[in-house]
Structure 1
Amino acid sequence: MMKNRRVIMPKARKMLSDWNTPYIQSLMKLIETQSKATLAIWAVDYSEQVILPLWRKYYLNDVRPQNALNAAREWLSGIIKLPQAKSKILECHAAAREANGNPVAQAAARAIGQCTSTIHSARHCIGLAFYGALAVAYDRLGTDAPWEQIEQCAAEECGRMEAALRAVAVEDEPNPAKIDWKC
């Protein structure tokens, strides 16, 4: 007689983690050629267009990620100071923590939190790839899909992210951000 066994599914990963994949390396090389302002505008725009709808799919009435995006734009326009923007960004990070158990929404909020943090430190923009691409992949394929398929979908999304950055990139940027990736 066979006993009932509980099948434990692997826990969904919270982010991509391989800094050495060709799609991450290619994006990092392009990021290193751009100013912090260009990177922040790209990250905020992409987050608002692609990632925020993933959050809203599950938490339509929770506006903390949108507030963080708005605050980053206001900081970029000189309307508010960094401490005011930072409080909204920290609220977005709190929304991500509270979305534990929903891998799509959690990764989306983390991506938005990292992208809006680019106004403080340019290297935060890579969070768009590590969290945002995973949110997109989970949304399209589900968290039960084989990791190879999820990673392929995320790699394709990173390609779209890179194309979006190339579209706004300043050729021969005279003031590229100095980024220490710490990886």
Structure 2
Amino acid sequence: KQIETQSKTTLAQWAIDYAEHALLPLWSKHYPDDPRPWKALNSARDWLTGAIKLPQAKPLILECHAAAREAEGNPVAQAAARAIGQCASTIHSARHCIGLALYGALAVAYDKLGTNAAWDQLKQCAAEECGSMLDALRAVSVDNEPNPAKIDWKC
């Protein structure tokens, strides 16, 4: 619900900031020499400031998605890169911000508990991370946002 009250710009800024703080370190822990997720976030930030246009950011975001595919077999890094790619993609469509919760919370849970943890434990840890994400969104939300994103969740 909180997502639907905010502009695409606010959602993109929130998703990018959260991904940089919580998820980029997870990727870097496993792939310290692969800057593709970092470049995706930076290109999205550059788009937000007007420094570049979407056609310049898009290839860098797609490279982040490629990094996620290449991280097959490393669930923490793969989920982190998928989340980062979705967060950066929020500059294109606001609904991509949901990838922060879907992939990002699981990346954090896998990192904290390990991939062999019981599903109930992973689910609880991911839910707690989603709570932190919501807190972060509330902290940057614009009261009575005049231009909330019109999101079709396709579900």
TM-score normalised to structure 2 length: 1.00
Partner of 2:87: 115
The answer to whether residue 67 in structure 2 is matched with residue 95 in structure 1 is yes
Which of 144, 147, 153 pairs up with 1:172? 144
Q: Once the 2 structures are TM-superposed, how far is the Cα of residue 65 of structure 1 from its aligned partner?
A: 0.1
Matched-pair identity in %: 77
CA separation in 2, counterparts of 1:84 and 1:122? 18
Task: Point out 4+ residue stretches in structure 1 off by more than 3 angstroms.
Answer: none
List per-residue Cα deviations over 1:73-127 (Å, max 9, x = no partner): 0000000110110000000000000000000000000000000000000000000
* Equivalences for residues 18-37 of structure 1 within 5 A: 29-37=1-9
Q: Once the 2 structures are TM-superposed, how far is the Cα of residue 147 of structure 1 from its aligned partner?
A: 0.4
CA separation in 1, counterparts of 2:151 and 2:120? 30
Which of 12, 29, 40 pairs up with 1:68? 40
Higher helix share: 2
CA separation in 2, counterparts of 1:47 and 1:111? 7
Structure 2 unaligned segments of length 5 or more: list them. none
Partner of 1:39: 11
Structure 1 unaligned segments of length 5 or more: list them. 1-28
Q: Once the 2 structures are TM-superposed, how far is the Cα of residue 167 of structure 1 from its aligned partner?
A: 0.2
SS at structure 1 position matched to 2:5: coil
TM-score normalised to structure 1 length: 0.84
SS at structure 2 position matched to 1:119: coil
Q: Once the 2 structures are TM-superposed, how far is the Cα of residue 172 of structure 1 from its aligned partner?
A: 0.5
CA separation in 1, counterparts of 2:34 and 2:106? 21
Partner of 1:182: 154
- The structure with the larger Rg is 1
Q: Once the 2 structures are TM-superposed, how far is the Cα of residue 61 of structure 1 from its aligned partner?
A: 0.4
Q: Residue 49 of structure 2 aligns to which amino acid in structure 1? A: S
CA separation in 2, counterparts of 1:174 and 1:76? 18
